[in-house]
Chains A and B, each alone.
Chain A
Amino acid sequence: MSYWSFLVEYGPRFIDGVWITAQQFVLAALLAIAIALCAGLMRLSENAASRGLAIGYIELFRGTSLLVQLYWIFFVLPLFGITLEKFSAGFLAVGMNLGAYGAELVRGGIQSVPKGQWEAAYALSMSPAKRMIRVILPQALLNMLPPWGNLLIELLKSTALVSLIAVADLMFQAKQINGSTFMSAQAFGTALIIYYILARFIVTPFMRRCELVMARKMGRG
């Protein structure tokens, strides 16, 4: 069977897989961003309790394997009465894990904003929330975007793990096709190429675009 006829035969299944991978990616990314923002801000809070909570969260999710976390969420939580369907368990695990890494990026981004910016905002009598939202976060965001680009690519690749709890994503389809055809090189080679294309031609250009827009807002570029 030529690679061309392989693609014609199994292409639709790869496309189904890509669609699920895309959904997992977007949902996990949104969750990771939300978690990163919360945990990153809590990590810098003056309140020891919220700081401790954030540190605990970051340590737990960065210090243990994503696969184990995924299995916990899918197989162990039901024992405590929390049952999630596999699709939700998948993006929750990936989002929560990468959110912990993102929290450190948020923290670093905020800390990289010069102290003079806080002081100028303070001198205008801005409230702590206004200082953060109006002055600090926009600048922190610009500093954070390049590392976030890397993190989102990492996140995309991590979504492949959800195939292990039988979410029918791109990786899952590749495995299935391999199982029924034994054409490993074609099946996993195609998956490889598609992941690369998604990362290189969709995620990366999108992040570049964000960086450009932000840079223009700062009057640079």
Chain B
Amino acid sequence: MEDLSKYPLQLDGNDVPVVRFMNVTKSYGSLTVLDQLDLDVTEGEMVSVIGPSGSGKTTVLRMLMTLETINSGVIYVDGQPLTHMEKKGVLVPADQKYLRKARAKIGMCFQHFNLFPHMTALQNCMEGPVQVLGMSKKQAQERSEELLSLVGMIEKKDQHPSRLSGGQQQRVAIARALAMRPKVMLFDEVTSALDPEVIGEVTNVIRNLVNEHNLTMLMVTHQMGFARDISDRVCFFFAGKIEEQGKPADLFGNPQRERTRQFLSAVKEAD
């Protein structure tokens, strides 16, 4: 067991990041997927995560969503520990109840949308606010309809997912996550399962979120052009570590590391 006393109970100071990974390691058996990762995301920042398959990109998001437990280190959200909680002056691994509250600050969109098939688009969006936040149905409906308008899906609000295209389902999924008013939004390759002609409708929604709303976002993507366009920062992952990170213009225009160059030229060729 790791000695957790070296980690602060909470982050203080003026510029507390919205997300902080501190020395986070994740392994499956003998396979180390993330190796002592440190990563900060500041308020309102859009950070893209790129890298070869298996480099741990999805794992970063899943740990932040607390879908996976971590083996060492601590993740903080909003200055408060996410993966741990305080007990008698030290951090201990968080229990279910703590996690349920802590992860409410985080919203996630998945590659395969994962909408609830037995609910309409509107019901999908209302589910969290009503069942988790305890909102009245009327309030939740207002909020959900507003968000469905934002993603351009208000006309289809009474349709079930099986009646929607992939791009439409993904937009509803974004609205559903936003309905919880998360501080941080996570996108894991949200356009990978889509037909090329509908990718634009989803990226436009995300672009709009970046421009008009002060959300903090972490996005795993294989679309380099899109990442370059909208990110404040791009992190290149390689073998469970951040090999290189920087402003998109720098990382794409003038990569410093050999592996980054190799990866970027390999992707360019594939395009």
Contacts and interface: CB of A to CB of B under 8 A. Distances in A.
Given A116-B114, A120-B110, A120-B114, A219 B132 contact: no
Contacts of A218: 117-118, 160, 162
A209 interface: no
The contact size tier of chain B is 20 to 34
B contact face: mostly helix, strand, loop, or mixed? mixed
Interface string A32-71: 0000000000000000000000000000000000000000
Given A135-B116, A139-B117, A219-B159, A126 B110 contact: no
Given A116-B110, A124-B128, A219 B162 contact: yes
Contacts of A128: 96
B110 A219 contact: no
A16 interface: no
A135 B161 CA distance: 14
Interface residues of A, number: 23
Interface in A161-220: 217-220
Contacts of B104: 125
A124 B179 CA distance: 9
Contact of B120 (A116, A120, A219): A219
A114 B120 CA distance: 18
Interface string A130-165: 100011001100100000000000000000000000
A134 B96 contact: no
B131 A126 contact: yes
Contacts of A119: 67, 110, 114
A122 B177 CA distance: 11
Which of B106, B117, B176 lies at the interface centre, i.e. has the most chain A CB atoms within 10 A of its CB?
B117
A8 interface: no
A2 interface: no
B100 A127 contact: yes
Interface of A: 114, 116-117, 119-128, 130, 134-135, 138-139, 142, 217-220
